[in-house]
Amino acid sequence: MKSNTTFLIIIIAAIINIPSIAQNHDTLYVAFWNLENLFDTRDDTEKNDAQFLPDGDKEWTEERLDIKMYNLARVIRSMNNYYGADILGVCEVEHQSVLAELTTKFLADINYKIAYLESPDDRGIDNGLIYNADKFYLLSIRGDTVNLAENELTRLILKVKLQTRWNDTLSVYVNHWPSRRDGREKTEPKRISAANTVRKSVDEEFSTNPNAKIIVIGDFNDEPSNISMINSLKALALSCDSLVGISTVAGSELYNISYSAYNDSIGTYLYRGDWNMLDQIILSSDLITSSSLNYICNSFEVYKPHYIVTRSGRYKGAAYPTYGGRRYLGGYSDHFPVIAKFLITK
């Protein structure tokens, strides 16, 4: 009888101790997604949004907007084993009100908050950040202007500073660099300017805190090996095999965790039959080597639930978009999201 009692006490103690063991570790799920023209249906006289109005070329109605947001929410909710992303950077959003409706109407069961600033971009498509307020406290929002030739306007670089409930400070830079619409080489100086803008801000942060925890995410409209990424942003290639060579001493390095997937010819955007890794996640060295919050190696992924993949035809395998040209398809986005996971040790 005594041995049975002792065994029972051991079992009860183990059960009681399980939560305390589990609480020593947690994961952080970070994602980025180009939402492909998430416009409202109202005319903004200061922006070029004529296509995305009920009487515009796209015949963009409240019904179509609702379908779009339902689709986006379906994907966001499916992330992180159906707990939703903890941090989600987004681009191609017309106004904060659209993101607010997405989170309050379609993702109301997750305590999401929004960090957002209106950009001077002529098209009115901006960058934003959705974060889980159960895990983060918003410290600050800043928008850095990218200075282009002839006073051309583009999206702000959105810098959001968050504090985790474990008192780590995290800086997230959300990017959508100028497009390649007029040709890659001709438009390359614009993306170099954007890269220089981000690098300047990152270096300012490193100068005051060499251990800064920084995440740079976005649709860069360039790939990991392009000049803007390598020479201007100075985002170094990272593969898990090379981690041994990374110093544990704090430095000003940025590491592109998208590089291995890019080398394997994986991409987020299909253009004329070629995969482009335009959407990327880049980390400061402290997020690679830190003992309190660090990247889980090989967790970077181009996120492709089967229902957001085009199943047949000329664009088979590509992301399933809202429009194909002017033809309404009722899909999700023309880009796949990218995700990465981090281990939090308390």
pTM to 2 decimals? Answer: 0.91
- Measured distance CA(64)–CA(33) in Å, rounded: 20
At residue 236, the pLDDT reads 95
* CB 110, CB 132: distance < 8 Å: yes
pLDDT band at 9 (very low <50, low <70, confident <90, very high): very low
pLDDT band at 124 (very low <50, low <70, confident <90, very high): confident
Stretch 321-337: mean pLDDT, rounded?
95
Question: Tell me: domain 27-345, CATH 3.60.10.10, correct?
Answer: yes
At residue 22, the pLDDT reads 40
Strand order in the sheet with 254-256: 136-144, 157-164, 169-176, 213-219, 279-284, 254-256, 235-237
* CB 275, CB 266: distance < 8 Å: yes
Strands 338-345 and 25-38: antiparallel
At residue 166, the pLDDT reads 83
Neighbours of 186 (CB within 10 A): 10
pLDDT band at 129 (very low <50, low <70, confident <90, very high): very high
Helix (H, G, I), strand (E, B) or coil at 213: strand
In 3D space, the residue among 345, 195, 163, 343 whose CA is nearest the CA of residue 282 turns out to be 195
At residue 245, the pLDDT reads 52
* CB 238, CB 256: distance < 8 Å: yes
Q: Name the residue ranges covered by the structural domains of the chain.
A: 27-345
Secondary structure (DSSP) of 159-183: EEEEEETTS-EEEEEEEE----TT-
At residue 17, the pLDDT reads 41
At residue 325, the pLDDT reads 87
